[in-house]
C-alpha cells in the first residue's frame, strides 16, 4: 500500500470515530505530519466564554498521534504521555492543531504539536510520546 493510501485510511478512521462528532474536526495527514482543524463554537466554552483546555489537548493529541501513526504501518500507536502548555484563550474562528514527529525509534515516537487561531496566533503547545500497540489497523477500527 502506498503512503498516500495509508494516510487516507487513517483520515477516514479518524472522521468516523464517534468521539469526534461533537467537535466536527477535519484531519489531513502527510509523512510524519498531521493537521486537525475544528470550528470554535459556544458548545466548547468554559464558564468564562472561551474554549475549554480539554479541546486544545484533544486537537494537539490527535494531530501528534496521527503524525506518529502516519509512520507506523499495521498497528495503531498509543499515546504514552502528553504535556500541554496553554498560552492564549480563543472564543471565535477555528482551532488549527499541527503535529509533527521529531524523533522515531523502533518502539517510541516523539511528536510536537501547536494550536493556532484563525489569525495564526499560538494558543497552546504540546509534546507527546507514542508507541506502537498490538491493535491491528483493520476494518474493525475503521481503517478502510
Confirm if 143 and 13 have CB atoms less than 8 A apart: yes
What pTM, to 2 d.p., does this model score? 0.97
CATH code of domain 3-141: 3.10.129.10
Question: How far apart are alpha carbons 124 and 52 in whole angstroms?
Answer: 12
Helices (H), the chain: 3-16, 53-69
Query: pLDDT tens, 82-113?
Result: 999 999 999 999 999 999 999 999 999 999 99
3-state class (DSSP) for residue 135: strand
Q: Does residue 64 surpass a pLDDT of 90?
A: yes
DSSP state of 142: T
- With cut-offs at 50, 70 and 90, classify the pLDDT of residue 120: very high
Question: How far apart are alpha carbons 76 and 131 in whole angstroms?
Answer: 9
Amino acid at each position: 500500500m502506498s503512503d498516500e493510501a495509508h494516510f487516507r485510511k487513517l483520515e477516514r478512521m479518524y472522521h468516523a470515530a464517534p468521539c469526534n462528532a461533537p467537535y466536527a474536526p477535519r484531519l489531513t495527514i502527510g509523512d510524519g505530519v498531521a493537521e486537525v482543524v475544528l470550528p470554535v463554537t459556544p458548545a466548547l466554552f468554559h464558564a468564562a466564554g472561551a474554549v475549554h483546555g480539554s479541546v486544545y489537548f484533544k486537537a494537539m493529541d490527535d494531530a501528534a498521534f496521527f503524525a506518529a501513526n502516519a509512520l507506523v504501518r499495521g498497528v495503531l500507536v498509543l499515546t504514552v504521555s502528553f504535556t500541554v502548555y496553554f498560552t492564549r484563550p480563543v472564543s471565535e474562528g477555528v482551532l488549527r492543531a499541527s503535529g509533527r514527529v521529531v524523533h522515531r525509534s523502533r518502539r517510541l515516537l516523539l511528536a510536537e504539536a501547536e494550536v493556532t487561531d484563525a489569525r495564526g496566533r499560538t494558543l497552546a503547545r504540546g509534546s507527546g510520546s507514542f508507541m506502537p500497540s498490538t491493535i491491528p489497523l483493520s476494518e474493525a477500527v475503521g481503517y478502510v
